[in-house]
Structure formats: C-alpha cells, structure tokens
Structure 1
Amino acid sequence: MSETARSWLADLTSLFTPTPTQFDGAKSHKDAIERRLDTVLGVHRMFEIGSLRHGTGIWLYSDADFLVSLKGIQPTSPLTMLARVKQALEDRFTATKITIRQPAVVCHFSDGVVEVVPGYISAGGGYMIANPSGGWMKSFPEEHNKYVNEINAKHNGGAKKLARHLKIWKYKRKVPISSCYLEMRAAKFLSTQVAYSPIIDLHYSLSHLKNVELAALNDPTGLGSRFGSCSSDTMKKDALSKLDTAVTRARRAMDYSLSDEQSKAIEQLKLLFNK
C-alpha cells in the first residue's frame, strides 16, 4: 500500500515519541536536587510535571520537568526565588551548567536536562510560579493534566497527538511559542470538536492559533492564570510570521489529502515539519 499523508504523520509522531527509558538519566537527579533545595531553602514536595509526565514529550527536545514547592515567605519578585534556587544548585552541582529560563532553573547534566520550576503554595490552592513574561502566575499542574487527559480520552488519544504535532512543528521550525500553551490550546480546541482527524485538525488548530493571534488563553479549568504564548513581543512577532507559513502548508496538505493526492500532501507536511 502506498504511503498516505495520514500514515506519514503517524510515522512522524512515532519518531518523536520518547521511549519510557530515554529520560531516566535526567530523572535520576530528582532526589539529589530535592535534598539540596530542602537543606538550603526548605521543600514541601517535589513532583514531576511537564510534557514527559503528560505523555506529550518530544524526543531530542523535551526535558524532565519538576515542580518544587518551597517553604518560607514568597518574595516580592520571582527573580529573587529563581536566583536563590540557581545558587543553591550551583553550589551543589559544581560541574553542571545551571541557567534560568523562566519559570524554571535548568540543570544541564551530562546525561539529561532537568528543569526545576520553583514555586510557593497558594492560599487558594495551586502554586505561585514565575510567569515567563514577568511577575507571578498561579498554576495548577495536576488539574491541567487532568483536563488534558479528559479531552484526550474523549478523542481516543487525539488531544495528545495533536499537541505533539504542534510541538514537533514548534521545535523543527524553531518557533518561539510556549509548549504548555500549545498543549492547552490543542486540548481546548478539541474540546469543541465531535471527532478527531489528524490532517484536518492539524490545519484547523493552526488556523485557530493564527485567528486569535496567539492571544493568551484563559485557564480552561477556571483555576489558574492565563497561559501566555510567547515571552516577548519580539518572539510573538516571529512566531506569528512562522505560523502564517504553517497554516498555508497545513491547508495545502489537507486539501491534497482530501483529494487523494497523497504524495503532494506529504510534500507539504515535509515542508511544514522541516523534514
């Protein structure tokens, strides 16, 4: 049987889906990080979050992500919190490059990258973490995961497949959009759809992102802060330009696929995903 656009997209998804053990090296540092931060700053708990935990991680691009809730008084600026966490980890892991990439402190271990998202327990539930665009934001990672899982179950895995497609496009085309934003947008988009069709929904979800001009997304759970798309106006301008090109290629891929011109549809998908 000749290759179809749908089978090509499925193969791409498989290629970029991490195996269960590919991030074991990075995750193995969790206990040492938690002990260090508990000794220096005090820790309530540290638990895995992010795309690997959610089942939307991208091989070669995603990191192991952990949220650590700190004890003590929340400082006025999240930058103060991030600097304290960075210093504590630098003093412990002296041979490891450690950087700040809001909302995380990133540990570049030789066997994997770990992103530590520090925060404080919020009086109303959830966690106060650094907003990538500045200031504090309230986050409910466990509730957000539950929301995505519910939409995903409704579409037999479609929400996480769509999120992964959007993330592959982001990484392969170097689009400066938040992965969390794309994941929540994918789930929110499919929450209004009756069924999931990979090629069709890839086009319409990208078109929706273009139509809303990457506007911040209200937390679909109604609990936390809005999800921002980009860390700066300059990044957003770049992302919108690349999104415009992506919508055109995704539309052509869909049209060719629906016309059963599969080779032409695959050509457009290869351009879309830079493959």
Structure 2
Amino acid sequence: MASSTATAWLADLTSLFTPTLSQFDGAKAHRASIEARLDYVLGVYRMFEIGSLRHGTGVWRYSDADYLVLLKGIQPASPLTMLTKVKDALQARFKSTTITIRQPAVVCHFSDGVVEIVPGYVASGGGYMIADPTGGWMKSFPEDHNRYVNEINAKHSGGGAKKLARHLKIWKYQRNVPVSSCYLEMRAAKFLSEEAAYVPIIDLHYALKHLQNIELASMNDPTGLGSRFGSCSSESTKSDALSKLDTAVQRSERALDRHLANDHDKAIEQLKLLFNR
C-alpha cells in the first residue's frame, strides 16, 4: 500500500480485506446438499446463513461461509453428541472432504471453499441452543445480535462499528491471536455505542486498550437475551491472546502518536507492524 496518511492506509487495509460475495460462491454452492443430507439423517427444522460474511464484517482469506442448522428431535445432554452426529452424517456423504469439529461448528473443507455448520436446537423462550466453545450449551440470538451491531453501525457515518470490528478481526487473523471473532465484533459495537464519533486510528487504539484493561473478560450479551460472550477457548489461549494484545496496544499507541504529530510515514510503519503487513 502506498498510502500518504495513516487514515488512508487503514482505509486501503479495509478495502483489501473486504471479501466480495463471488469469492464464496463455491462454498455456498454446497448448502443444498448439506441441508438435504442432514435432513435425511437427523431431521432439519431450519437452516440459514449467519456469521461475518452475511453480516458484512467478514475478512478476506479467513472468513468462511457459516450456517446455523436447527435440528429436529430432542437436545442431547452433551453438545459433543450432536456435533459428532452431524460430522458423521456429512462425512458419509462427502467422503473425500476433510470434516472436523471446531466448537460450536462442524467444518467442511471443500476444495472450492470452507463451510462451517453450527448445529443447534430451538430454545424454549426464544433463541437457539448451540455448543459453547468452552464446553456445555449456550443460548444464542444471532438475528438480535446482528440487529444490535447494525443499530450501532448506523449511528456513525460510514459504518464505524463494522469497520472497527473488521480491523480487530484483521489483527486477530494476521497475528494469529486466539480470540473469538464474535467476541471482537460485539466488543467493537459496544465500545462505539458510547462514542459520539468514529475516527479509525483513534478508536482502533482505544478499543485495543479497552480490551487490554478488561483483560479480555467475558461480556454480557448487550441485547440482554443470550449467554455471555467468552473471549477465548481456554486459559492457555487467553494468556497467549493477552500477550499479543499487549504488543498490539503498544504499536497502535505509537501509530496514533505519530499520526497526531503528522509523521505519517512512522505512523504507517507502526500500523504495518500491528497488522503484519
């Protein structure tokens, strides 16, 4: 990127890592066959697209096509039982495809794209019961969560909440930070819900600083509906994430300081380090 200012560099970064819909045509083409197979073996109540691609916060090269599949029947005691049944059903249908379990999803690595299937059940009182990445079940309200992010996003000119969420996710993927993408998106929206304006380089630093101050603490569902959002799958991965977060805060602070001093070359240099570019 040959950007003249740090602000322009961040805009170019956003553009570069924003996926086009056509880039996932291959992965999405498997939807019908996946739904048909699961309906035949397990019974499907409903299947619909969720996740960052659907919601406009996906990251090029990293985000997958994600679907929530609501199964018929009785919810088992362990979500691993459900995940294993879904994996086995799909593996029997797509024999040459690598299929793995990565809670809360079953991941299908097709040759033309990756598809993540999040199986679950309709919950009493609303929402859906899906596997919690840290174990057990959790209640999820993906449509309401998307609505919350959209409301905050519309508050700022140019869609600040989704841009900030994408910047945090780019950092996560480019620096291999073991933190939940959903957690970062909800934290970005919550952070900007209390800000009067969105300034990319300023809010990037202070959002990272906020995550550092709270030590990636779990987050109450801001809609007041679902389970708490956890940041990491285990204490060991959280330790790794916090270490990388410390480095990110230092680099974003230097970038902001250089930006405010109109030393854009140095600011961009720090942003390149932050995003591993």
Q: TM-score, normalised by structure 2?
A: 0.98
Give the corresponding residue for 1:188: 190
Task: Quote the Cα distance in structure 2 between the aligned partners of 1:159 and 1:257.
Answer: 21
Instruction: Report the CA distance between 1:20 and its aligned residue.
Output: 1.7
Give the corresponding residue for 1:45: 46
- What letter is aligned with 2:212? K
Tell me the SS of whatever aligns to 2:66. Answer: strand
Task: Quote the Cα distance in structure 2 between the aligned partners of 1:191 and 1:38.
Answer: 40
Alignment check: 8 A CA contact 2:3 2:9 kept = no
Q: Which of 265, 268, 271 pairs up with 2:267? A: 265
Tell me the SS of whatever aligns to 2:46. Answer: strand
Alignment check: 8 A CA contact 2:141 2:225 kept = yes
Give the corresponding residue for 2:23: 22
* Equivalent residues in 2 for 1:83-102, closer than 5 Å: 83-102=84-103
Task: Quote the Cα distance in structure 1 between the aligned partners of 2:217 and 2:36.
Answer: 39
Task: Quote the Cα distance in structure 2 between the aligned partners of 1:261 and 1:183.
Answer: 30
Q: Which of 199, 202, 205 pairs up with 1:200? A: 202
Give the corresponding residue for 1:160: 162
Tell me the SS of whatever aligns to 2:75. Answer: coil
Aligned residues: 275
Give the corresponding residue for 1:248: 250
Tell me the SS of whatever aligns to 1:48. Answer: strand
The unaligned stretches of length 5 or more in structure 2 are none
- What letter is aligned with 2:48? F
Instruction: Report the CA distance between 1:259 and its aligned residue.
Output: 1.1
Give the corresponding residue for 1:82: 83
Give the corresponding residue for 1:57: 58
**Residues 67-116 of structure 1: CA distance to partner in whole angstroms, max 9, x if unpaired?**
00000000000000000000000011111100000000000000000000
Q: Are the structure 2 counterparts of residues 199 and 76 from structure 1 closer, same or farther at C-alpha, using a change threshold of 3 Å?
A: same
Instruction: Report the CA distance between 1:272 and its aligned residue.
Output: 0.2
Task: Quote the Cα distance in structure 2 between the aligned partners of 1:153 and 1:28.
Answer: 31
Give the corresponding residue for 1:103: 104
Task: Quote the Cα distance in structure 2 between the aligned partners of 1:98 and 1:179.
Answer: 21
Task: Quote the Cα distance in structure 2 between the aligned partners of 1:124 and 1:77.
Answer: 21
Instruction: Report the CA distance between 1:155 and its aligned residue.
Output: 1.0
Give the corresponding residue for 1:229: 231
Task: Quote the Cα distance in structure 1 between the aligned partners of 2:154 and 2:103.
Answer: 31
RMSD over equivalenced CA pairs, Å? 0.9
Task: Quote the Cα distance in structure 2 between the aligned partners of 1:207 and 1:124.
Answer: 37
Task: Quote the Cα distance in structure 1 between the aligned partners of 2:21 and 2:83.
Answer: 30
Alignment check: 8 A CA contact 2:97 2:108 kept = yes
**Residues 228-265 of structure 1: CA distance to partner in whole angstroms, max 9, x if unpaired?**
00001000000000000000100111111011110010
Runs of 4+ in 1 over 3 A off after TM superposition: none
Instruction: Report the CA distance between 1:2 and its aligned residue.
Output: 6.7
Give the corresponding residue for 1:133: 134
Task: Quote the Cα distance in structure 2 between the aligned partners of 1:38 and 1:226.
Answer: 30
Q: Are the structure 2 counterparts of residues 2 and 209 from structure 1 closer, same or farther at C-alpha, using a change threshold of 3 Å?
A: closer
- What letter is aligned with 1:100? I
Tell me the SS of whatever aligns to 2:227. Answer: coil
Tell me the SS of whatever aligns to 2:246. Answer: helix
Instruction: Report the CA distance between 1:124 and its aligned residue.
Output: 1.1
The unaligned stretches of length 5 or more in structure 1 are none
